[in-house]
Amino acid sequence: MRIERRFTKDVSCPYAGQEWRNAVSEIRNPDGSIVFHMDNVEVPTNWSQVATDIIAQKYFRKAGVPQALKTVEENDVPSWLWRKEADLDALENMPKDQRYGSESSAKQVFDRLAGTWTYWGWKGGYFESEEDARTFFDEMRFMLSNQMAAPNSPQWFNTGLHWAYGIDGPAQGHHYVDFETGKLVKSKSSYEHPQPHACFIQGVSDDLVNDGGIMDLWTREARLFKYGSGTGSNFSNIRGAGEGLSGGGKSSGLMSFLKIGDRAAGAIKSGGTTRRAAKMVVVDIDHPDIEEFINWKVLEEQKVAALVSGSKLNEIHLNRIIKACYDAKPDLGEKAFEPKENKLLKKEIIAARKVMIPENYVQRVIQFAKQGYTSIEFKTYNTDWDSDAYLTVSGQNSNNSIRVTDDFMKSVNDGAEWNLVNRIDGSVARSISAKDLWRDVGHAAWACADPGIQFHTTINDWHTCPASGDIRASNPCSEYMFLDDTACNLASLNLMTFRSKDGSFKVEDFKHACRLWTMVLEISVLMAQFPSKEIAKLSYEYRTLGLGFANIGGLLMSLGMSYDSDEGRALCGAITALMTGVAYATSAEMASELGAFPGYKKNASHMLRVIRNHRRAAYGQEDGYEQLHTKPVPLDIENLTDPAIGVAAGEAWDQALEIGEEHGFRNAQATVIAPTGTIGLVMDCDTTGIEPDFALVKFKKLAGGGYFKIINRIVPQALTVLGYDDDQIDEIKRYAVGHSTLKGAPGVNHETLKERGFTTKELDLVEEQLKNAFDIKFVFNQWTLGTDFCKETLGLTDEQLNDYNFDLLAAIGFDREEIAAANLYCCGAMTLEGAPHLKEVHYSVFDCANPCGKIGKRSLSWQSHIYMMAAAQPFISGAISKTINMPNSADVDDCMAAYELSWSLALKANALYRDGSKLSQPLNAALLDDADLEEELEEKSVAEKAEVVAERIVERIVEVEREGGTKRKRLPERRKGYTQKAIVGGHKVYLRTGEYDDGSVGEIFIDMHK
């Protein structure tokens, strides 16, 4: 294939036009301990500290990289593309501790990725000439270093270690199909053929111990989890509870086996990291055990609630009973253990019975007290998602989805009965109300955010290979949907890098990038090894790809378009149509050179039908679709503000169909829209996948540690597009992030403070603290101003100053409105609602997934998320990974309506998350001990509640040193301390102290993360 030199035509090498810097990368735990530290990390100068940390910590090869290399000559490969290995002679002359080390430059990573793709592409015959191969190599490195696109994480981990450094290891049970012979081969090396695929779907049969059965699946899943990949399976072949067994007896049912798989997955930390295994469990809506499956996590969440509240009640009441015994013993002797004689003991037993403390335990602790014990250690639990409470219950290690057919949805609408079908003989196990079952689904989603929905009929209407079987499941994130025992390799394009300064979209650049990345993903199929024979075989036969994008939310905002607008949806649809059209056209082009995928022949008519349906949608056609049960949302050409994208999309689909009709396609699928979590960070994306932005003000990490508050970088671009001048934009930005000063502030300012006795000295002290303050009230205290000033000048008492709830500003005469106005001016609103100059008609441009800041009220509706997905779905081979954000006030009917809207708009899958639906979100009740706090919290969202409670924690945390005065006393270099962990609104808060030699507190650190 011919490769155009587009991005690198004017430079001597792909890095020539970039500035580079040596950075420091350091990542710390919330308790302050260092997780990772690396000096002299070479990255492009414009990369953020977060992107630098991601590539250094996660993607650099940390060990075994030879510091001296030599090439390995291959006759059929150009010399510049020869792979490398350790130069043992040169290494022998180096100190032992310097012979092998870590990658230290992003260039090394880009070179090994692009070099390996080019190497295997050359061996596979993908390039017309050596110059085409060299151009491909340069163009790929340019795109990686300029954050234009990124492959999925397994590529960064594994690809190129053998080609670039000669790193090798023993075989791990993988297989691959030799591209020259077409024969299945068992891998002899762990790295020569890398494992670059992230997403897997595996089948499971109704068999206990044989290959392909239930227990075999746990082994296959474990192999994938070990290497950091995710897997999904449809478990509907497994018979329901009570169905007959071949040897007599009755089956224990689907749920008993799902709980075994859940435990197995929970025991394996995916990829050796601290995150749990990534796993999808899919069950058909007509399975006899479907009701139990729907309510599985609902009931398990109730168990968590019971563990948390029950453990705390037991701990309190059982210790009170013991205390009642030993407090009375000096007076009553042995009668202290008899409720008839010990009135306090009787009272505590009655109180324990009222809260259902088990009678057996009451008797036990009385016996315990008789033996001389004065307390009992009763383990208590909390609702943190990774706490022992959640680890104790089942169902927490998978995403659960229900496979719903059109027939079921019609039964719901008709109020009909729905048959649950036995797995073995196909007989009806029982009939239930479809509406009642659907309400159970809505309630479960409302209560615990699971299960999600996959629309089986719509998925298979767009299936390119139905002659090979139905699509029955997906990967864990639900974007890859294809045949069982296949894998998908993902890559995503950063859409903001294709935005011109004038706001137009770089269509030709985007087409070029889509073409080359389609080739990368195809070459990755050729070079890959797979964790089982069946996956290796079917992935070779169908060669599914997962090209996608990130940053559509950022792009729309930067163009002054609301995420919830016809124009925004039209642009998203057009870009998606262009991406997939080019990908399929490239796939057809590769088929003309290298042949169609092996499974194409028996599916040719079906795939061409699907391509024609995609093409109709790209041309905005409302009718004429072939064999679809639900019509898609076609491209809204009328509202497309950049018509060139729509024209290019139509041309791409014309080309895909024309070449495909003659030569077929190299790949059964070409695109998905993935979540793009980690790779979104390494590309410095403002938004991930198809998501909108979540906040307008963010905290930027500093190289030396710490963070500072900045406005989202796309906000000024959006304001410029909307017609605001530089001065107006600066004022709007200041409104959001604050001025970090009280000079010129309303209410509380230098003039009003001087009137109350403040001098230049105190104002300077205050101003220094305001630079990083989140609330001005935290700055006005005796530690900033000095005790003498507070008492002698301001007339405050020790009692006031030592009261954790004391508000100094209010005490010296400022009212609530004045303080709030000054706080807004100094620390910022964290939202643009109410900003100076900003017209209300433009508010929608800056709407995010959640309300922003303390005063923000606006957020995107749940419907807007679904409509955006519907705009993109007709142009995606697979599906879209996305969770629909719903407010806390949403009810069960809203959840059902969201799923029904998704079905009516021809989405393939959806999942909901109602704010506050997980137990790990609610507030710690122990913090709600103030009447004013309860009043303050009453009308707030969960996110706002978390902010209020976090503020109260900070206000109360400082242990007052009454005698120390304000003179600084230096802490010893080596010192003791105490760490306390708390959970606030689903966020972990760590409070760490440093102590003087006498045990008094000298410093307190507060770390908060989610």
3-state SS, residue 580: helix
The CA angle 489-490-494, to the nearest 5 degrees, is: 160
Closest Cα partner for 805 from 930, 962, 938, 950? 930
Residue 649 exposure: Cα atoms within 13 Å on the Cβ side: 33
CB 776 within 8 A of CB 763: no
Residue-wise DSSP of 229-255: -EEEEE-TTSPPTTPBPTTSSB---HH
The CA angle 714-720-721, to the nearest 5 degrees, is: 90
* The predicted structure's pLDDT at residue 961: 32
Residue-wise DSSP of 485-547: SEEEEEEEEEGGGGB-TTS-B-HHHHHHHHHHHHHHHHHHHHH--BSSHHHHHHHHHH--EEE
Catalytic site residue 477? yes
* The predicted structure's pLDDT at residue 922: 38
What Å distances lie between residue 849 and 110, 737, 887, 982, CA to CA? 34, 19, 10, 26
Closest Cα partner for 431 from 422, 443, 440, 419? 419
d(CA 893, CA 970): 61
**Token pair recorded at residue 6:** 């587009």
d(CA 106, CA 113): 11
Which candidate in 295, 314, 475, 885 is catalytic?
Answer: 475
Question: What are the structural domains, with CATH classification, of the chain?
Answer: 199-233+241-286+405-663 (3.20.70.20), 297-390 (no CATH), 750-827 (no CATH), 925-1009 (no CATH)
Which candidate in 26, 243, 479, 522 is catalytic?
Answer: 479
d(CA 114, CA 513): 14
CB 500 within 8 A of CB 506: yes
d(CA 989, CA 589): 55
Catalytic site residue 417? no
SS3 of 428-474 = EEEEEEHHHHHHHHHHHHHHHCCCEEEEHHHHHHCCCCHHHCCCCCC
Element containing residue 1001 per DSSP (H, E): strand 1001-1009
**Token pair recorded at residue 291:** 């009701």
Residue-wise DSSP of 369-424: HHTT------------TTSHHHHHSSS-SSEEEEEE-HHHHHHHHHT-EEEEE-TT
Point out which residues pair with 199 in neighbouring strands: 230, 488
Taking 70 as the pLDDT cut, the residues of the chain under it are 29-32, 227, 269-276, 700-708, 920-990, 992, 996-1000, 1005, 1007-1010
Measured over all CA atoms, what is the biggest interatomic distance in the chain, rounded to whole angstroms? Answer: 101
Element containing residue 312 per DSSP (H, E): helix 296-332
**Token pair recorded at residue 148:** 């234009």
d(CA 702, CA 684): 15
Which candidate in 325, 448, 477, 827 is catalytic?
Answer: 477
* The predicted structure's pLDDT at residue 10: 79
* The predicted structure's pLDDT at residue 974: 64
d(CA 586, CA 224): 30
CB 596 within 8 A of CB 603: no
DSSP label at residue 334: G
* The predicted structure's pLDDT at residue 923: 32
d(CA 489, CA 199): 7
Element containing residue 360 per DSSP (H, E): helix 359-370
Point out which residues pair with 235 in neighbouring strands: none
Residue 44 identity (one-letter amino acid): P
Closest Cα partner for 577 from 672, 646, 632, 665? 646
d(CA 863, CA 861): 5
Catalytic site residue 475? yes
3-state SS, residue 43: strand
Residue 996 identity (one-letter amino acid): Y
pLDDT in tens, 318-337: 999 999 999 999 999 999 99
